[in-house]
Chain A
């Protein structure tokens, strides 16, 4: 099966909170990431969390990590139409120059006015 899994689609109303979920399989991953991709563009790093943390907050973004269940979530508070994009979670396998990122399938977030 896939190393990293996400639900494919989420629709919310502007001003609501969005919660995007992700599960991963490698318990040795040191870092877990959230990236945003707008149509036809590359990836923008939104935030990341180190594996020994449970939570990280950065302005409207809150990342929760349940290491026991290998579950990662991204909460976007006060979601705006500009937040509409595809969101990828990724886990880092290995480290240093031999490491690589394994991405989930991406969750398309649709924000309705």
Chain B
């Protein structure tokens, strides 16, 4: 149990386009989902926390208009990178859980912006 999926696993896009990444909790309902970003050989940096039905809480330095997060249901959260640029290329990982005490991580999405 406690499986979290992400789609797509890998995406390459042109600069200026928008990319949507989905995060799903497959066998449980997640009241909270977290979005992280990981640069090569670095740690995970929390971007935002989203609770179902309410606006996401963004970490300092993360542009909310650039990284749009929607958490419309208890099993699905989406991250849209708008007007992507090469510096947005990264590994994006979501996690889902009832609380921080129990977070289950997705397999990650590799975004490459050309």
**Which residue of B44, B103, B110 contacts A88 across the interface (Cβ within 8 Å)?**
B44
B contact set with A: CB distance below 8 Å: 4, 6, 31-32, 34, 41-46, 49, 51, 93, 95, 99-101, 103-108, 110
- Minimum CB–CB distance from B22 to chain A (whole Å) comes to 14
Q: For the complex, give the distance between the alpha carbons of A96 and B106 in Å.
A: 20
Contact B99 A43 (CB under 8 A): no
Contact B43 A105 (CB under 8 A): yes
Q: For the complex, give the distance between the alpha carbons of A57 and B19 in Å.
A: 43
Q: Does A1 contact B (CB under 8 A)?
A: no
Contact B43 A41 (CB under 8 A): no
Contact A44 B105 (CB under 8 A): yes
Contact B108 A40 (CB under 8 A): yes
Closest A residue, CB atoms, query B9:
A40
A-B contact pairs, 26 of them (CB 8 A): A31-B100, A41-B108, A42-B108, A43-B93, A43-B95, A45-B103, A45-B104, A45-B105, A88-B43, A88-B44, A92-B100, A94-B100, A95-B99, A95-B101, A97-B99, A98-B49, A99-B101, A100-B49, A100-B100, A101-B44, A101-B46, A102-B46, A103-B43, A103-B44, A105-B42, A105-B43
Known A42-B106, A100-B49; 16 more pairs at CB < 8 Å:
A31-B100, A35-B105, A41-B107, A42-B6, A42-B107, A42-B108, A44-B105, A45-B103, A95-B99, A95-B100, A96-B100, A100-B100, A101-B34, A101-B46, A106-B42, A106-B43
